[in-house]
Amino acid sequence: MANTLRPAHQRELFGHPVGLYVLFFTEMWERFSYYGMRALLTLYMTAQTLENDPQSGLGWTSTEALALYGWYTMLVYVMGIPGGFIADRIIGQKKAVTIGAILLTCGHGVLAIDAVWAYYTGLGLVILGVGMLKPNISTMVGGLYKPNDIRRDKGFSIFYVGINLGSFIASLSVGLVAAVYGWHSGFGLAGIGMLMGLLVYLYGQRFLTHVGNEPTVEEKSSDISLSTLFGQLLKSPLQLGIVVVLLALSLYAGFTFEGPDHWGYGALFIVLSLITGMMMMIYKNLNGQVEKDRYVVLLLSLLMVMVFWGCFEQMGGLMNLYAQEKTNRMFLGWEVPAAWFQGANAGFIILLAVAIANFWARRKLKGKEASSLFKMGVGIIIMGIGFVYMVFASLQYESEGSSAMYWLVLAYLFHTIGELCLSPVSLSFFTKLAPARYMALMMGVYWAATGLGNKVAGIIGESSVKAGELKVFGGLFVFAVLFGVLVLLLLKPLKRLTHGAEDQETVLAREATEEVEMADR
């Protein structure tokens, strides 16, 4: 009764703000639309072009399809930088999520139209929509809880389940609809899912009145702007010289790179050069050696994020095509749609997320190594081991002409375990190390690193056309395992550079456990 008498934004359900569940279902449907379309993307581009046939695709080669897949998945994340900036500085997260949901709904609606112009237009709208929605809805989840609220981590875990529940449902339903009724029906179903998310979000606004509002004048004035950083860069001859050289090399590479998308690589290299300049100026402006040491570890963690996603995102590209073209998908006389395998990752996350989180929590309470850097290194190794099963699949294909489905399932299982060790941890670790006054900018860089990893995944996938899947999968296995081992070997010096950023968490966790044990007695 007392709960219903509270203002709507203070009401709770199962021990958490009702607003959490509004955002849970909004994000669930957004991920339904995104992953539903991602499951079809490379398959649609490589399908044969047929007259008046719902199964007609674009007829592209695998190289062309994987190249566009890389650009698309990179831009989806990179657009989180302007999306987050617009929200932080101008309209607030709440309006940004609304605009993003509308753009996504329109984008998927346009993709349902059977025309090439509609395909490119729809992809563009989806990129803009995800850029506005994804970084800002996560920020709103954090805003539901007061500082030091012990429910915050569990709230994000509940939210994370919503992400993967949407992905799991989409991979099955959208893939089936596309297999039976055609590609554009699948794209349309993804759009209906996003429309559901938009309606849920608009209905639940009364539970979100205290989060995601427009920034105040004081908040705007306290932020470090990009113009300030680049203004300082112009006054630093050494750093400016480095950036100028990088820009010159970027322009040269853009004009000399072979391939139809050379302009894209030129633009990418220019952006990376400017980000490099920004990162150098941030380091120069840090206060004290502790901040600078932590910043170095932060940059190394960005490299780990790029390596992980560069390997992991073969799932939606090369491995998706492998499931379509080289896997025996017959089960009890029925051919399993290739897009269904994209649901394995989300399904395993739903099944294993709590168990793996509890494993690391118990390990930390026992005083064993369970730092974020350790988890991330182990996650990269486990993900790399998953490619062993794709090596076995490739060997079976070479000897028998097709490979069994269980190789893909086992690969996805290990990739998922690796993701659960790294993905939820890396973002949290990043927020612990990033200087507070540069937090907004650094979060944008984090998502840019994720996007760059996705682009690397597309480039690696393209190389399989000449090198072959066996060499690519084997190379990914060796590289990921060696990289993860290197992180573990450098663990002690890297932890020293963090200057105890995570030590207080361990103390609080042990104290909480001791209190529970005393109460049980």
Within this chain, do residues 276 and 312 fall inside the same structural domain, yes or no? no
d(CA 22, CA 8): 12
Condensed to tens digits (0 to 9), the pLDDT of residues 408-440 reads 999 999 999 999 888 877 877 877 787 766 766
Give the model's pLDDT for residue 246.
Answer: 77
Has residue 244 got a pLDDT over 90? no
The residue from 220, 244, 266 where one domain ends is 220
Percentage, residues of the chain above pLDDT 90: 18
Within this chain, do residues 207 and 324 fall inside the same structural domain, yes or no? no
Which residue, 62, 185, 132, is CA-closest to 447?
Answer: 132
Beta-ladder partners of 12? 17
The number of folded domains in the chain is 3
pLDDT band at 227 (very low <50, low <70, confident <90, very high): low
Within this chain, do residues 215 and 257 fall inside the same structural domain, yes or no? no
Q: Considering the domain boundaries, does residue 53 fall inside one?
A: yes
Q: What residues make up the domain containing 228?
A: 224-285
The domain spanning residue 79 has which CATH number? 1.20.1250.20
Within this chain, do residues 401 and 451 fall inside the same structural domain, yes or no? yes
Helical pair 343-365 and 152-181, crossing angle rounded to 10 deg: 160
Has residue 381 got a pLDDT over 50? yes
Within this chain, do residues 270 and 152 fall inside the same structural domain, yes or no? no
Which residue, 276, 294, 287, 299, is CA-closest to 230?
Answer: 276
Helical pair 439-467 and 262-284, crossing angle rounded to 10 deg: 140
More confident call, 520 vs 260: 260
Condensed to tens digits (0 to 9), the pLDDT of residues 302-347 reads 899 999 999 998 887 788 888 888 889 888 888 888 878 878 888 8
Q: Considering the domain boundaries, does residue 257 fall inside one?
A: yes
Has residue 8 got a pLDDT over 70? no
Has residue 511 got a pLDDT over 60? no
Has residue 483 got a pLDDT over 60? yes
The dihedral built from the CA positions of residue 508, 514, 516 and 519, taken in this order, carries a sign that is negative
d(CA 423, CA 304): 11
Q: Considering the domain boundaries, does residue 519 fall inside one?
A: no
DSSP state string for 447-486: HHHHHHHHHHHHHHHHHHHHH-HHHHHHHHHHHHHHHHHH
Within this chain, do residues 228 and 341 fall inside the same structural domain, yes or no? no
More confident call, 5 vs 356: 356
Has residue 5 got a pLDDT over 60? no
The residue from 257, 285, 313 where one domain ends is 285
Condensed to tens digits (0 to 9), the pLDDT of residues 255-293 reads 676 666 666 777 777 777 777 777 787 788 788 888 888
Q: Considering the domain boundaries, does residue 240 fall inside one?
A: yes
Q: Considering the domain boundaries, does residue 521 fall inside one?
A: no
Has residue 53 got a pLDDT over 70? no
pLDDT band at 356 (very low <50, low <70, confident <90, very high): confident
Q: How many residues does the chain have?
A: 521
Within this chain, do residues 470 and 321 fall inside the same structural domain, yes or no? yes
Condensed to tens digits (0 to 9), the pLDDT of residues 155-165 reads 777 787 777 88
Q: What is the mean pLDDT of residues 459-472?
A: 83
The residue from 285, 308, 327 where one domain ends is 285
Within this chain, do residues 281 and 293 fall inside the same structural domain, yes or no? no
Burial label for 171, CB within 10 Å (0-12, 13-18, 19+), is buried
CB-based contacts of 292, cutoff 8 Å, min separation 6? 283, 286
More confident call, 207 vs 284: 207
Q: Considering the domain boundaries, does residue 520 fall inside one?
A: no
Q: Considering the domain boundaries, does residue 517 fall inside one?
A: no
Q: Considering the domain boundaries, does residue 233 fall inside one?
A: yes
Within this chain, do residues 98 and 13 fall inside the same structural domain, yes or no? yes
Contact call for residues 345 and 335 (beta carbons, < 8 A): no
Within this chain, do residues 335 and 389 fall inside the same structural domain, yes or no? yes
**Mean pLDDT over the full length of the chain:** 81
Within this chain, do residues 357 and 270 fall inside the same structural domain, yes or no? no
Has residue 100 got a pLDDT over 70? yes
Within this chain, do residues 130 and 235 fall inside the same structural domain, yes or no? no
